[in-house]
Amino acid sequence: MLKKARKNQAAIFTLFSLLYLSFAATAVYLVTDHFVQKQAEQAKDRLQQQLALVRSNIEAEVFRDTFLADSLATVVSIAPEFALTHWESVAEKLLSKARFVRNVGLAPDDVISRVYPLQGNEKAVGLDFRSRPEQYKTVLKARQSQQVVIAGPLELVQGGIALIARFPIFTNPPFNTQYWGSVSVVIDYDRLLQSSGIMTLDGLDFALSSLNPEGKNRLLLGNQRVAQKADIRYPVHIPNGNWELAAVYDQLENTGYVQGLKQLLIALGTFTFICIYILLVFLFLNYRQLHRMSLTDELTRLPNRRFLMDVLTRLMERTGGEVEFTLLNIDLNGFKKVNDVYGHEAGDELLRLVAHEVSNVLRSSDIASRIGGDEFVVILHRTTNATDVERIIGKIHERVESTALHWQGEEIYPSLSIGYTGFRGKGDVGAIKDLMARADQRMYQDKILRKAAAC
């Protein structure tokens, strides 16, 4: 009987051992597979952040050089003869501040007559855009839209590949009926891409494409297959145009690093379940989820507070020139009542409507942002004149407050209170907080006046 009991105990122990080993092997397999997948996801998150950073770099640099060139276009528009006479000194100032502008051209009646620097660009002088249909198409687009248009990348007559910012010049602003010609700002395409970091992306295959109004892609860089079947896509916004940055991930699970970790976990599977459990706890406690930086307000798709403060900081950090801008602080009147009466979903739609209408009033160089709740802040670049600011505020009131939100058979008309403060002089990062506070204070003063007028 004793021998039989011992045999039974041995059998039970053996069975338990087999079950335990089977369970442990299954647990190791599941944990290992889960860990490998997580490592791959972390790698994907890192690649997404790199891709988002590349997108941001391209947008920032194109907008930076384009808006620097906007001042040159303004000079030509106001005093074309002065610009022609003093072309070298005027153009030199632009190139000294721009990062990727290789040359600028002046084209009265769409024929290039001035180029700076001239050396290396002699072939461009005398070029009649009407003889180059692809380039003339973008000149016409700029003229018709009365806004800057980014063309390219294009092959230049003087050699090389570049993006070209086309600025239409009218001699009777703001009516813009007397077309004088154009200013072309040539941006070094290869240097721009190198600086953005797109050429050093590792672990994925990418494609950079431009989108035409019909939504069709024109491949600018990378693999056409990726542009058609991508794992991730980022819109790249440029002045009056859109690009797309798409990517396909490599087989991240099969990298040497991930495979090595998998073998290590399989080896650790020979230990007891407690060791496996401790290992899982260790892995869990040491696991850090990467958060993607976001510069966009999720509800309105406007830039958020982080983006606003970054722009203001960069403006105030400029050296060697005068900084000029105005801050508008915009607040919705009676927004809480809208939420209480119609619900928060209606409030969200009202915020989207206000964001859309405010953006449509502003110039392409201005920036509207939502910094929280029902509060918006607008940067008016190169504008501090009280008359001009009041005119813009009037346009915002007229546009927004005349546009109704149609909600469940009801019409909800937004009402705004707007305060503003301007800054002109040498950049001072320390002044940002005070400027924001002053604009906010004047907004509340406007709100009080409106309430009093309504009584």
143-162 residue pLDDT tens: 998 888 888 787 877 677 88
Domain residue extents for the chain: 64-192, 305-454
| Averaged confidence pLDDT in the chain | 82
pLDDT at 11: 63
> Which three-class secondary structure state does DSSP give residue 29?
helix
Most confident segment among 137-141, 149-153, 372-376: 372-376
Give the distance from CA 186 to its chain's centroid.
Answer: 22
pLDDT at 362: 93
User: What are the φ/ψ torsions at residue 215 (nearest 5 degrees)?
Assistant: 85, 10
pLDDT at 313 over 90: yes
pLDDT tens sequence across 50-87 = 888 988 988 888 888 888 778 888 888 888 888 888 88
Most confident segment among 272-281, 317-326, 394-403: 394-403
Q: In 239-394, which ranges are E strands? A: 241-249, 323-332, 367-372, 375-381
Model confidence at 442, pLDDT cuts 50, 70, 90, reads very high
pLDDT at 105 over 60: yes
Instruction: For domain 64-192, give the CATH number.
Output: 3.30.450.20
What is the Cα–Cα distance from 117 to 257, expressed in whole angstroms? 50
pTM over 0.85: no
Q: Kindly tell me the burial class for residue 280, based on how many C-beta atoms sit within 10 Å of its own C-beta (0-12, 13-18, 19 or more).
A: middle
Beta-bridged to residue 242, according to DSSP, are 211, 237
Instruction: For domain 305-454, give the CATH number.
Output: 3.30.70.270
8 Å CB contact between 44 and 252: yes
